Amino acid sequence: MWAENSVFYQIYPLGFCGAPKENDGVTVNRIGKIADWADHIQRLGADAVYLSPIFESDRHGYDTRDYFTVDCRLGTNEDLKTVCDAFHKAGLRVMLDGVFNHVGRGFHAFQDVCRKKWDSPYKDWFRLSFDGNSNYNDGFWYEGWEGHYELVKLNLQNPAVVQHQFDAIRSWVEQFDIDGLRLDVAYCLSEDYLRQLRAFTNGLKPDFVLMGETLHGDYNRWMNDQMCHSVTNYECYKGLWSSFNSMNLFEIGHSLQRQFGPEQWTLYRGKHLLSFLDNHDVTRIASMLNDPRHIVPAYGILFGMPGVPALYYGSEWGIQGRKDQGDDALRPALEKPEWNDLTDHIAALAKARKESPALCSGSYRNVVLTNRQIIFERCWENERVLVAVNADSVPYTAHFDARAGRATDLITGKLHDFGGGSELPPYSVAFWKCER
């Protein structure tokens, strides 16, 4: 599957393009500027673009009004096609956000229920009761997603609802030639629904990818041969920033060993979870780390660990944004990309990973683990790479059996000699490809 060897680049179009916060009904081609970033995304080393919600919505995109029509604040379907064509021409895959658990109050079927109540042919599209009332005084009660009543939960056991969504997905493939979907709140979607979705999308494109948003629990519940190809690795997301802030790399080391280690009981060995340091829902990594110098080794672990790395627009040059300042702080409008030392570092990491089968698909084993240092091994067939990170403010010399005399650092191209110990500079990362 193409996604396993990819680096994803996420854009939140409504914020990125500076669209009005509320849907004003005015059609403006704002989405076109996303295509202007294709060269930057390529230079960064990403090869797949994930676009957060782009279809007609009440406000933020996750409150869908119309699955078939691009949000007027972003432009038209033809405008989106132009963007997707530009990305594909540049060799970039395109993944859209599939928001299937709920819709906005402006969704046509829900509006029909509001007008006609029990006479509406769409009343069974939702989980509702005419014996109660809503926070909006609709004259009936309905279930909202996690208590958010602007997000109306759909009845996905109704075949008509499922067919409506599947018709929309088919239209996205036909119009925009998309390559996959990120499934919003996949942890809320039933196993039966996910199986139907997987079978349907397999029929559209044999290499169509489903990535589910999951938070807690055993990710195998949603990720297998019948449901999602991959899911979001929130366990390691937390472990990454927390390990550096507490100077306790045992946390991320033990999480990775638990998920991908050689023992038979490990959970996700051989699978490719979506890995990230930040996204549109959480505080930017540059704002999350107590010591800004830890951002270099943090990205080093992200690209060295098992999984599919994802970058969030703007974070590649270190912009800040805190969740406690509201979603808008996480989803800013950006006019043009920037490039600095951090961007150079991430591009080198992306290149090293994509050129290494061991880093893309190899096994995982902890080799050295202290509070401030971690060295782990990735192996695939005849290739063996040691990922070495020093989170300390002083150099560290690691003494261990590397099972090789020399190596080449895939990040810098420099030769490394294991004799007499391996010195790691402060706040550094190395990808040592060992000689056979």
Q: Are residues 377 and 314 in the same domain?
A: no
Q: Are residues 226 and 285 in the same domain?
A: yes
Residue type, 134: S
Does 399 lie in the same domain as 299?
no
Is the distance from CB of 209 to CB of 49 less than 8 angstroms? no
**pLDDT (0 to 100) of residue 436:** 79
Contact 140, 113 (CB under 8 A): yes
C-alpha torsion angle, residues 364, 365, 371, 374 (rounded to 10) = -70
CATH number (domain holding residue 389): 2.60.40.1180
Residues 18, 129 within the same domain: yes
Query: Cβ(155)–Cβ(142) under 8 Å?
Result: no
**Could you say which of 357, 382, 407 is where a domain stops?**
357
- Domain shared by 315 and 422, yes or no: no
Q: Are residue 57 and residue 191 in the same domain, yes or no?
A: yes
- Whether 261 and 138 map to the same domain: the answer is yes
pLDDT at 1: 83
Residue owning tokens 């995982």: 364
Same domain for 344 and 418: no
Indicate yes or no: pTM above 0.95: yes
Distance of CA 171 to the CA centre of its chain: 23
Q: What is the DSSP letter of 284?
A: -
pLDDT for 253 equals 98
Q: Check residue 326 and give left, alpha or beta (phi > 0: left; psi -120 to 50: alpha).
A: left
pLDDT tens digits for range 375-397? 999 999 999 999 999 999 999 99
My answer on whether 144 and 163 are in the same domain is: yes
**Residue where the block lists tokens 């990594």:** 285
CATH number of the domain to which 77 belongs = 3.20.20.80
Last residue of a domain, one of 327, 357, 387: 357
CA atoms lying within 13 Å on the CB side of residue 417: 2
**Boundary residue ending a domain (357, 372, 403):** 357
What does the pLDDT read at residue 339?
98
Alpha-carbon distance of 89 to 100, in angstroms, equals 29
* Residue 339 sits in the same domain as residue 264: yes
Of residues 342, 345, 344, 384, the one with CA closest to residue 363: 384
Give the dihedral of Cα atoms 293, 353, 304, 323; nearest 10 deg. 60
Number of domains, the chain: 2
- Which run of H or E residues covers position 204? helix 191-204
Residue 54 burial by CB count (10 A; 0-12/13-18/19+): exposed, middle or buried? buried
- Indicate whether 205 and 81 sit together in one domain: yes
Same domain, 348 and 412: no
Range of the domain at 379: 363-434
**pLDDT tens track of the chain, all 436 residues?**
899 999 999 999 999 999 999 999 999 999 999 999 999 999 999 999 999 999 999 999 999 999 999 999 999 999 999 999 999 999 999 999 999 999 999 999 999 999 999 999 999 999 999 999 999 999 999 999 999 999 999 999 999 999 999 999 999 999 999 999 999 999 999 999 999 999 999 999 999 999 999 999 999 999 999 999 999 999 999 999 999 999 999 999 999 999 999 999 999 999 999 999 999 999 999 999 999 999 999 999 999 999 999 999 999 999 999 999 999 999 999 999 999 999 999 999 999 999 999 999 999 999 999 999 999 999 999 999 999 999 999 999 999 999 999 999 999 999 999 998 999 999 999 999 999 7
